[in-house]
Amino acid sequence: MEIAIIGGGIVGLALALNLEQRGLVCHVYEAVPEVKELGVGITLLPHAMRELALLGLQEALEPLGIENEADPVAALRAYEDARSAPAARVVRTNRTAPPDFINIRVEELTGDRPFDQLDDFISQQELRALSDRYKRIAGYSIEDLATPAARSAT
């Protein structure tokens, strides 16, 4: 007997592996021509993980995932450990280069008086340099994003 499975989603593929383990021949028919990633991740709850483990996939899956802590206090601690460094970076960035840094500089240059032409006080080049400096400090710079090692060194 050969079995046709229509749809190569997680259910179709899990069923195919399951049947294969029982010695049954099956064919999976999938409508899309190419399997692609969608979204940023997937939560595998214990009952789903149990099924995948029974299919022999646990070893392959574990290194790809982040295991949730069953203990909520430990989960909060793990979250805090992951959160504190980036949060400290945001605070430091806001102190050394606050998000309204361009307004602050313009206020300095104009003596906080009304003006008609911003270009009379600051050139586009200087504005761009200020903006680039902020992006570098805040970690938005495209060059820094392209070289994570360089970014983490700053």
| Residue number, 31 or 73, with CB nearest to ligand FAD | 31
Smallest distance, ligand FAD to C-beta of residue 44, A = 6
| Residue number, 52 or 97, with CB nearest to ligand FAD | 52
Residues in touch with ligand FAD (CB under 6 A): 6-12, 29-32, 39, 42-43, 48
From CA 135, how far away is CA 110, in angstroms rounded? 24
Smallest distance, ligand FAD to C-beta of residue 12, A = 5
Taking a C-beta distance cutoff of 8 angstroms, is the pair 145, 151 a contact?
Answer: yes
Taking a C-beta distance cutoff of 8 angstroms, is the pair 144, 154 a contact?
Answer: yes
Smallest distance, ligand FAD to C-beta of residue 15, A = 9
